[in-house]
Amino acid sequence: MKKMIPGMIVLGAACFAVAAAEVDLTLPENWTLANVAKDCKAEFVKNKDDSLTLNTNSPVCYLTRNLNFEKGKSFRIEGRIEANGLYYIKLYFLNDKGKLINQEDFRLVPGSATELVAATDGGETVIKVKDASQWQNGNSISVETGTPPAPSVYSARKGIKEIRKKDGTWEIELKKPFGIKAAQGAKIVQTFCSDGKILTNQYRLPVKPVELSFTLHADHSNTAEANKWWPDAKSASLQVILHGDAAEKSIRLSRLKISEINTDW
């Protein structure tokens, strides 16, 4: 178990630079553990299958890993995450002085962006999009509702019940009414969350296991484009936040790693 200062909260404070081609995030030493409440405990357990489990009775618990920006270097973050309660995954962008300048949610599914074929008034349970070939039942959808660099560019909607190709377009049947007015041609993307829950600048993942697959592009972006370093960011802080009312909480990380890649996608 890592020794912690009770009540300590770390925001982008992990001081590990990713020097190797790959960082194994199933090793306790590759994380900074923080925000363990006074008189609470947090213990790492290395499992026989090489996965890593964090057990805690703290109301909130943070795992943090730092990435340093280098032009021409991209990072691939992938692996399996499962927990017995709700949790968040966030990516904080910091300037050269370590000050927070923006944050990104792990909610966008790469390659799933498309457009609405017809405008919506919010009451629809079926919407039409140009291309849903990369979409999956059970995921959710988000519509672009802000202008970069607004804190929250996308607004999450309801979960996907069924996907159908019809008359040259794609129909997306939702579990509940769409709930938002959007113009024809509005950008729409798929999200990882299955129940549509999203908080401002935070992404709360469901209890079910999640296969995380995320690429952080090599170069800075001129806008709040997903999957790119924020302008002027010199480092980024990956955080997994375990949160909930349960007295005993645990999160299990399997095959979770950060790899350096030299190609864009």
Give residue 32's pLDDT. 94
Q: Which residues pair with 190 in a beta bridge?
A: 141
Who wins on pLDDT, 255 or 6?
A: 255
Predicted TM-score of the model (pTM): 0.57
59-106 per-position pLDDT tens digit = 888 899 998 888 778 888 888 888 887 677 777 888 888 888 766 655
The C-alpha atoms of residue 142 and residue 261 are separated, in whole angstroms, by 28
Instruction: Tell which residue, 262, 263, 110, 249, has the closest CA to residue 189.
Output: 110
Identify how many contiguous H helices and E strands the chain contains and give both numbers: 0, 18
**% pLDDT > 90, the chain:** 23
In tens, the pLDDT along 33-50 reads: 998 998 999 999 999 999
Beta-carbon contacts of 241 under 8 Å, excluding residues fewer than 6 positions away, are 60, 61, 62, 63, 87, 88, 89, 90
Tokens of 159: 């979960």
What is the four-CA torsion angle of 78, 226, 131, 265, rounded to 10 degrees?
Answer: -60
Mean pLDDT of 10-15: 35
Identify which has the larger pLDDT, 237 or 190: 237
Averaged pLDDT score across all residues of the chain: 74
Amino acid at 31: W
Partners of 82 in beta bridges:
252
CA distance 160 to 111: 17
